[in-house]
Chain A
Amino acid sequence: MIDSSIIDQIINKDNDAFKMMYQKCIRYVYSLVKRYVKNESDHQDVIQEIFARVFLSIKSFDTEKGDFKFWLRRLAINQCLQLYRQGKSPKQFVPIENANEIESGVVHALDELTKIDIQNNLSKMPEGYRQIFMLVVIDEYSHKEVGKLLNITAETSRSQLSRAKQWLQKKITKIDKQKISFHGI
């Protein structure tokens, strides 16, 4: 993603190198931010914060030990979750008791799910589930790491993921039922 020479230049406070890095990474960072921060008005602010932190802490990145993309992803996700820790992002976590009552909007057959449909469905997932689902399933964090990031236990992370999966399962079941009833008619 980024050459070690560019990283060295950034460490030496070369603005052109930083600009080059920004242009190479912004799409990836934006996709991460979109996944974790629902509120679009926060996107610009969070991305600025992420790149400011990249610039200030890039010295700590060891090119021999890890991949820059991986390092950047960690930093970006951590910054996105920071919003929730600070309470800036609205709490959309649905208590366990109510979780089953969430109505989904448009229901599609699983085979016909497009990227946008998946995004839409995930965006409708309760916040508490969604964050953990994203972190564990998509970004491959361990439950222990999720626990540290969200200040919850690994057990809580596991149970939340399990409920998130159940939530999705229900969606898929509904889809199947609809398909059956449609074909039955």
Chain B
Amino acid sequence: MESNFDKIKKVMSENTDNQLPPELNWDNMESGILEKMSELQAVQTQDSSGKNRKLLIFSLTLLALILILNGIYFGKKLDVLAQNENLSIEQANEGFKIISINEKEEQLKENSYKNDSVFQIAPLAEINYFGNRFETNTHQTNSRPFSNDLQKKDLLKPKANISLLTKRKKKRTNESSSSAPNEKSINSFPSFELRTGENLSFLPSINFSVANQPKQDNVPIPPLSIWNNSTNSYRLSLLGGVSFWNNGYGNTKPQRDEFESNKLSYHAGLNYIHTSKNGFSFMIGIQYQQMESRFDWTGIIPDYQLTLTDTILEISTDAFTGEQTEIRGDVNLSVYAERKIRHFNRTRIFQIPFAVGKAWISKSEKLQLDVLVGGSFNIMSNNAGRTFYQGGIQNYNSSSNNFLSKKMKFNTLLGGRLTYYLNSNLGIMTGFQFQKSISNWSIEQDIKVRPSWVNLSLGLAYYIDKK
């Protein structure tokens, strides 16, 4: 048989003495080739612009991640600064109180100006500026003694701007902390002078004044407040659930798509989430994703050959005895047949998801909401199934990997989680996650596969530690 093929090979390989059809002469072909060249160049340009677009999306995602991480870093830094400032300002406030009271008393004695209005203190602007980070009590202790004790409308106008005030306060803090305040040092403090009868609105510090806020005690508390600033949390969460997915063929649907339908799929994952004091989170984990599809194919075989073995071909009856004799044999029949194939195909993926986000916790600390933005890498994948390809039924599996590339892929990720804490360590969780692949999974030319999927999860969250 091989020699027969060798003969065929020889005949076909030498088959170059064709008579060229006239339409293949250079003169007839030149314009067509040039036209094809320009078309190909245009396609190449489109491909490169597509690559640029991918690069742009990747860069933007990366930039967003950097910005959010940056936010977490500076958030922490501000927190530390605020804590430092808290100390110095509290110390400084004590100084102000003494100064202000003393000066006020002197001024009041001199001017004997009487009014029932509440005394307003402009320097408290600095305190209020960082006020969100302090306990409300801080303001109360700073403001109430003046309002209760003095009950006068006296305006305190800073000579310098706010930034200078801070410096001066610090200077004053050093003085006041080193020794008990005395009259001399207090009087020499140059920051403020009291003036009466001036409108508060002209003061540069008015925008920051505690006095401008209508009622400090009645600040509405949102149902979900910003993460408790004294808590760092480390959580492990185990989750799993259902997935709805789409192949993401776009305009490049292959023929096999006509016979395949996507089915409800599954996922499971283990995540680690670190939430910093200011509520910014970083999540990393491992996730298993299984995409299911069903292949339904019906083929018509107009002349299917069927062999009936040991079949009665003829019954002969003896005319005299009436005895019947069966003649048996095999019969080949050509029948009209319908072949139906149903097969469940699956694609399995192992991913490393990572994301940054923000966490909110309810006042009761029972409910926690996380919003996460990031991406995921497919580190392992395989697909197995049966499909219609190039006019025939084809089986594929993880070793053959016909349609999907095994290379690492990048997907964007958007997610949200709601956790209800059963106790201080354990919580039950529901989650939502959307992923869309940026990479093309297909190894077939001219076919793009950029799947997207939505995961709905249920799971458990476990606090490793709270610091």
Which residues between 102 and 126 of chain A lie within 8 Å of chain B, taking CB atoms? 110, 113, 115, 118-119, 122
* A63-88 to B contact mask, C-beta < 8 Å, 1/0: 00000000000000000001011110
Which residues between 7 and 33 of chain B lie within 8 Å of chain A, taking CB atoms? 7-9, 11-13, 15-18, 20-21, 23-24, 26, 29-30, 32-33
Chain B interface size, under 10 / 10 to 19 / 20 to 34 / 35 or more = 35 or more
When distances are taken between beta carbons in the complex, the residues of chain A under 8 Å from B20 are 26-27, 30
Name B33's contact: one of A35, A55, A85, A155 (CB within 8 Å): A55
Whether A85 contacts B444 by the Cβ 8 Å rule is yes
Q: Give chain B nearest CB distance to A40 CB in angstroms.
A: 9
Name A137's contact: one of B8, B18, B390, B399 (CB within 8 Å): B8
> Contacts A96-B392, A97-B304, A127-B391 given: A47-B402 contact, CB under 8 Å?
no
Q: Determine if B41 is an interface residue (Cβ-Cβ < 8 Å).
A: yes
Q: How far is the CA of A84 from the CA of B392 in the complex (A)?
A: 13
When distances are taken between beta carbons in the complex, the residues of chain A under 8 Å from B29 are 22, 44, 47-48, 51
Which interface residue of A53, A95, A119, A134 has the most chain B CB atoms within 10 A? A95
Name A22's contact: one of B26, B41, B393, B443 (CB within 8 Å): B26
Q: How far is the CA of A35 from the CA of B16 in the complex (A)?
A: 11
Chain B residue at smallest Cβ distance from A47: B24
Q: How far is the CA of A137 from the CA of B7 in the complex (A)?
A: 11
* A135-157 to B contact mask, C-beta < 8 Å, 1/0: 00110000000000011111110
Q: Give chain B nearest CB distance to A81 CB in angstroms.
A: 10
Whether B24 contacts A30 by the Cβ 8 Å rule is yes
Which residues between 150 and 166 of chain A lie within 8 Å of chain B, taking CB atoms? 150-156, 165
When distances are taken between beta carbons in the complex, the residues of chain B under 8 Å from A98 are 301, 303
Q: How far is the CA of A125 from the CA of B339 in the complex (A)?
A: 23
> Contacts A31-B16, A128-B390 given: A137-B5 contact, CB under 8 Å?
yes
Q: Determine if A56 is an interface residue (Cβ-Cβ < 8 Å).
A: yes
Q: How far is the CA of A119 from the CA of B29 in the complex (A)?
A: 26
> Contacts A27-B16, A52-B36, A86-B446 given: A155-B9 contact, CB under 8 Å?
no
Whether A82 contacts B392 by the Cβ 8 Å rule is no
Q: Give chain B nearest CB distance to A2 CB in angstroms.
A: 15
> Contacts A95-B393, A152-B394, A153-B400 given: A48-B32 contact, CB under 8 Å?
yes
Q: Determine if A181 is an interface residue (Cβ-Cβ < 8 Å).
A: no
When distances are taken between beta carbons in the complex, the residues of chain A under 8 Å from B8 are 118, 122, 137-138
State the total of A-B contacts with C-beta under 8 angstroms.
133
Q: Give chain A nearest CB distance to B66 CB in angstroms.
A: 37
> Contacts A56-B41, A86-B446 given: A92-B23 contact, CB under 8 Å?
no
Chain A residue at smallest Cβ distance from B41: A56
When distances are taken between beta carbons in the complex, the residues of chain B under 8 Å from A153 are 396, 399-400, 402
Whether A44 contacts B24 by the Cβ 8 Å rule is yes
When distances are taken between beta carbons in the complex, the residues of chain A under 8 Å from B11 are 115, 118
Chain A residue at smallest Cβ distance from B30: A19
Q: Determine if A28 is an interface residue (Cβ-Cβ < 8 Å).
A: yes
Q: Give chain B nearest CB distance to A129 CB in angstroms.
A: 10
Q: Determine if B40 is an interface residue (Cβ-Cβ < 8 Å).
A: yes
Q: Determine if A101 is an interface residue (Cβ-Cβ < 8 Å).
A: yes
When distances are taken between beta carbons in the complex, the residues of chain B under 8 Å from A155 are 400
Whether A93 contacts B391 by the Cβ 8 Å rule is yes
Which residues between 286 and 340 of chain B lie within 8 Å of chain A, taking CB atoms? 299, 301, 303-305, 339
Q: How far is the CA of A49 from the CA of B40 in the complex (A)?
A: 9
Q: Determine if B161 is an interface residue (Cβ-Cβ < 8 Å).
A: no
When distances are taken between beta carbons in the complex, the residues of chain A under 8 Å from B303 are 98, 101
Name A97's contact: one of B1, B301, B390 (CB within 8 Å): B301
Q: How far is the CA of A172 from the CA of B305 in the complex (A)?
A: 22
Whether A151 contacts B255 by the Cβ 8 Å rule is no
When distances are taken between beta carbons in the complex, the residues of chain B under 8 Å from A45 are 32
Whether A151 contacts B392 by the Cβ 8 Å rule is no
Q: Determine if B380 is an interface residue (Cβ-Cβ < 8 Å).
A: no
Q: Determine if B389 is an interface residue (Cβ-Cβ < 8 Å).
A: yes
Whether B18 contacts A34 by the Cβ 8 Å rule is yes
Q: Determine if B67 is an interface residue (Cβ-Cβ < 8 Å).
A: no
When distances are taken between beta carbons in the complex, the residues of chain A under 8 Å from B445 are 82, 85, 151
Name A48's contact: one of B36, B299, B400 (CB within 8 Å): B36
Q: Give chain A nearest CB distance to B392 CB in angstroms.
A: 5
Whether B392 contacts A55 by the Cβ 8 Å rule is no
Name A138's contact: one of B9, B44, B399 (CB within 8 Å): B9
> Contacts A115-B11, A153-B400 given: A97-B339 contact, CB under 8 Å?
yes
Chain B residue at smallest Cβ distance from A115: B11
8 A-B contacts (beta carbon < 8 Å): A19-B26, A43-B24, A47-B29, A51-B33, A56-B40, A91-B390, A152-B402, A172-B4
**Interface residues of B, Cβ cutoff 8 Å to A:** 1, 4-5, 7-9, 11-13, 15-18, 20-21, 23-24, 26, 29-30, 32-37, 39-41, 44, 255, 299, 301, 303-305, 339, 389-394, 396, 399-400, 402-403, 443-446
What are the 8 closest A-B residue pairs judged by CB atoms, nearest first?
A93-B391, A153-B400, A52-B36, A91-B391, A48-B32, A52-B37, A31-B16, A138-B12
Known: A35-B15, A156-B394. 4 other contacts (CB 8 A): A44-B24, A47-B29, A51-B29, A52-B40
